[in-house]
Amino acid sequence: MKRINFQDLIIKETAEFIVINKPANISALEDRNSKLNVLALARSYLPNLQLCHRLDKETSGAMLLAKSPEVYKLMALQFQNREVSKIYHAVVNGRHGFEQEGIDLSLLHSGGKAKISRRGKPALTFVTTLDTFRNQTLVECRPITGRMHQIRAHLAAINAPIVSDSLYGGQPVFLSEFKRTYNIKQDTEEQPIISRVALHASKLEFANSAGVEIGVEAAYPKDFNVLLKQLKNYG
């Protein structure tokens, strides 16, 4: 992975906070497999920055960081009280016509995976279809709660697993599936159009210390854009 300059990730900065467009395949915190993580990058820019929430390693998109302990506490309270609006976009397998579909299924976490279980913690997600293709659908997800892998598990539970999300049954998308003229070189294996979970944190809405509502959108990264372009052209 090429060197990442934290400043290049910033999409909004004020005296209180920073919102970045997190690249995919970077952990929020240090993990066993890589020392490259959002917090380390952030503190190379400003030593006191704190993560207000997390995104899965494979998920790209809007991520909020606080510049002081006071602002961190303010944001943490908003997340706790479910006053922060989080909007995600995902490409899922299958054609679906969701209209504010509420998925109210409790989640139990075990072995790094979320499972639907009555013994789990309450979890609620609303899903709306944005665009449909031949065998895939672009959806908007609004999680009300913030459980680990909530969107991924909830979408899988309604037979709409996210593209390339093998942990929850999501299938990859190959160009050869719908482009008849596609040819692959001999002795090579075709790669999926997007090789990571096709999930992007598109927008965050929250209030600053003065009570002013802030909305910040994160543009799609290249791999997500390429997937949508190919699906629109051929799918």
Q: In whole angstroms, what separates CA 25 from the centre of its chain?
A: 11
- Which secondary-structure segment (H or E) carries 142? strand 136-143
In one-letter notation, the amino acid at residue 193 is I
Closest Cα to residue 51, out of 31, 24, 22, 15? 22
The catalytic residue positions are 56
Question: Is 64 in a helix, a strand, or coil?
Answer: strand
The CB density around residue 234, as the number of other CB atoms within 10 Å, is 15
Tokens of 122: 């309450």
Q: In whole angstroms, what separates CA 57 from the centre of its chain?
A: 9
Q: Which residue has the tokens 């976490």?
A: 109
